[in-house]
Structure 1
Amino acid sequence: MKKPEQIDVIALMPELDKMLFKLLEGLSVEDWEKPTLAPNWKVKDVAVHLLDGNLRTLSMLRDGYYGETPESVNSHEDLVNFLNGLNADWVKATKRLSPKVIIQLLKISGKEYCDFLATLNPDDKAEFSVAWAGENESKNWFHIAREYTEKWHHQQQIRLAVGEEKVLLEEKWYLPYLDTSVRALPHHYRKVEGKDKDLVKFTFCGQTEKSWFLYFNKGWELYTSSSQEPICEVKIRDDCAWKIFTKGMRREEAISNSEIIGDIKLGEKIFDMIAVMA
């Protein structure tokens, strides 16, 4: 069996941004007002949320300026509520910005954002841990990969709203998203009872088929390959997986569009998993 390796998406980040700029520049006035999978957010709202991600990263991590900080965060729920409040305030304030201004600001901040991430030592401790993976401390490479998933799935929300979603499901773009998101599996399954040497296989099917494995050895561990026969295999379509991990699809719908072979109880647990701060 082989354990997952470090993820490197630095070179992909500016390319992903360029795809976003091209997409936004081609939208009609009506497109900017279309609803997305993000609750209560239209295309324009998701675009300004991406802008906020650039600006907050530069302000906090590059410039050491944190602005608003929570008065008390005693739980994951407290942190999520604080972040949701920041996001809502930003979206409301940027209602006054035109699409042209938003695109210009995304281009300017996007380059500085990508340039900054490239200066980080991948093996150094990240300023913020990847909480949805259960980590209290993370390396920069995982933080950067998490940032990639944020940019990927929000761009995909826009693309889905305007009927341009297929390109990001290509292996070059989708595999890093999946590879990062599945790192949440051991944490997500931490309270699921397993027997010694139990193996669960998760296969994502679409333009590229890729599998990951959870192996029980006094706790669940993630692997990228195994010759052992699994006691359960879950097959999930690529156009569903990202929606499951970002709360964009109801659990019942996700299960009905997937296949579970073997232990149903073990397999169904993945359909509760999210890989975002929500």
Structure 2
Amino acid sequence: MKNKIEIETLHLFPVLDKMLINLLNDLTDEEWEAQTVAKLWKVKDVAAHLLDGNLRTLSASRDGYFGTKAENINSFQDLTAYLNHLNMTWTNATKRLSPKVLTFLLEITGQQYSAHLNSLEPFENAVFPVAWAGQESSANWFHIAREYTEKFLHQQQIRDALGKPGLMIKELYDPFLDTFMYAFPHTFREVSAAQGTVVSLIVTTEIGGQWNIVKGEQEWTLNKETNVKANAIVKIAPDIAWKLFSKSLRPAQVLKETELIGDQQLGQQVLQIVAVMA
């Protein structure tokens, strides 16, 4: 990994937190119980999950406290099953908390959470690797960017459920997508192709962008060039992209709203990108 912070996100955490607290403070009782695209979670569950992220980061990364250690984690599937179990037990426990208590806890822990992230040396190894990008160890700057995607994604799930705009602007959406695209080459790790093959993903509109992967001798590499000649091009709308790559929508559900140009098999593989632990 280059000695360079490739995606700057630290300055955006307070922005997202302020927007979240303002949003939650204005919700009605009915809105707290609205269903989100995360099929098992209502708005209140998603807010509770965001609180869990704050608390777990402070406990493990800041305080070095990991609680009960995971056992029998021998594969990516084992890890996702373990994390899904942790998520479920937490959201079940927080059903006894009121929305007001949840919002208060999110506000005070969010400040400590941001302060901790700012204390991390960007090129030291993070406490947890970004497994969905295929990394066995990750620099702190990338771990922080991954944490940003969590903050963005779950707040956007709440806003999407309630029809509340706000996050889908270039300033906030671009670093979210940039980070998610580190899963792009990893998604093609077992795809055979001639050296020099190029696959492009274009997220449309002014808040989108273009990402490409190029097949080298051993692996696929990622870039953001716009003047490449691609063997396959996939065009997808921003609102579909965040849902698809977080597994809230699956490829079969978005095919009619997605444009695939060139090699169809390579294009279909792009739709398999998943940049969350699920």
**TM-score bin, normalised by smaller chain:** over 0.9
Report the equivalent of 1:52. Answer: 52
Report the equivalent of 1:170. Answer: 169
| Structure 2 segments unaligned to the other structure (5+ residues) | none
Give me the whole-angstrom Cα distance separating, in 1, the residues matched to 2:194 and 2:269.
16
Q: For 1:238-253, list aligned pairs within 5 A.
A: 238-253=238-253
Report the equivalent of 2:148. Answer: 148
Q: Is the 8 A contact 2:174 2:208 kept in 1?
A: no
Q: For 1:35-46, list aligned pairs within 5 A.
A: 35-46=35-46
Give me the whole-angstrom Cα distance separating, in 1, the residues matched to 2:257 and 2:270.
13
Asked if 1:228 is matched to 2:225, the reply is: no
Asked if 1:77 is matched to 2:60, the reply is: no
Shift in alpha-carbon separation, 1:173–1:226, aligned structure 2, 3 A? closer
Give me the whole-angstrom Cα distance separating, in 2, the residues matched to 1:24 and 1:253.
30
In structure 2, the residue corresponding to 1:222 is in which secondary structure? strand
Q: Is the 8 A contact 2:170 2:208 kept in 1?
A: no
Give me the whole-angstrom Cα distance separating, in 2, the residues matched to 1:50 and 1:247.
18
Q: For 1:77-116, list aligned pairs within 5 A.
A: 77-116=77-116
Give me the whole-angstrom Cα distance separating, in 1, the residues matched to 2:176 and 2:237.
14
Give me the whole-angstrom Cα distance separating, in 2, the residues matched to 1:208 and 1:113.
28
Q: For 1:175-194, list aligned pairs within 5 A.
A: 175-194=174-193
Q: For 1:209-220, list aligned pairs within 5 A.
A: 209-218=208-217, 219-220=219-220
Q: Is the 8 A contact 1:247 1:274 kept in 2?
A: yes
Encode CA deviations 1:41-61: one digit per residue, 9 max, x unaligned.
110000000000000100111
In structure 2, the residue corresponding to 1:152 is in which secondary structure? helix
Asked if 1:61 is matched to 2:45, the reply is: no
Give me the whole-angstrom Cα distance separating, in 1, the residues matched to 2:132 and 2:248.
16
Give me the whole-angstrom Cα distance separating, in 1, the residues matched to 2:73 and 2:62.
23
In structure 1, the residue corresponding to 2:180 is in which secondary structure? helix
Could you list the structure 1 runs, at least 4 aligned residues long, displaced by more than 3 angstroms after superposition: none
Shift in alpha-carbon separation, 1:226–1:162, aligned structure 2, 3 A? closer
Most deviating of 68-77 and 14-23: 68-77
In structure 1, the residue corresponding to 2:113 is in which secondary structure? helix
In structure 1, the residue corresponding to 2:17 is in which secondary structure? helix
Give me the whole-angstrom Cα distance separating, in 2, the residues matched to 1:35 and 1:96.
18
| Structure 1 segments unaligned to the other structure (5+ residues) | none
Report the equivalent of 1:134. Answer: 134
TM-score (norm 2): 0.96
Report the equivalent of 1:208. Answer: 207
Report the equivalent of 1:16. Answer: 16
Aligned identity (percent) is: 47
Q: Is the 8 A contact 2:5 2:141 kept in 1?
A: no
Post-superposition shift, 1:228? 3.1
Matched to 2:192, the amino acid is E
Post-superposition shift, 1:226? 5.1
Give me the whole-angstrom Cα distance separating, in 1, the residues matched to 2:145 and 2:32.
28
Post-superposition shift, 1:269? 0.5
Post-superposition shift, 1:69? 1.6
Q: Is the 8 A contact 2:49 2:90 kept in 1?
A: yes
Instruction: Say what the alpha-carbon RMSD is for the aligned residues.
Output: 1.2
Post-superposition shift, 1:68? 2.1
Q: Is the 8 A contact 2:52 2:90 kept in 1?
A: yes
Encode CA deviations 1:5-59: one digit per residue, 9 max, x unaligned.
6111000011111101011111100000011111221100000000000001001
Q: For 1:255-266, list aligned pairs within 5 A.
A: 255-266=255-266
In structure 2, the residue corresponding to 1:11 is in which secondary structure? helix
TM-score (norm 1): 0.96
Give me the whole-angstrom Cα distance separating, in 2, the residues matched to 1:23 and 1:112.
20
Report the equivalent of 2:119. Answer: 119
Encode CA deviations 1:83-126: one digit per residue, 9 max, x unaligned.
11111111111111001100000000000000000000111111
Equivalent pairs, count: 274
Q: Is the 8 A contact 1:169 1:207 kept in 2?
A: no
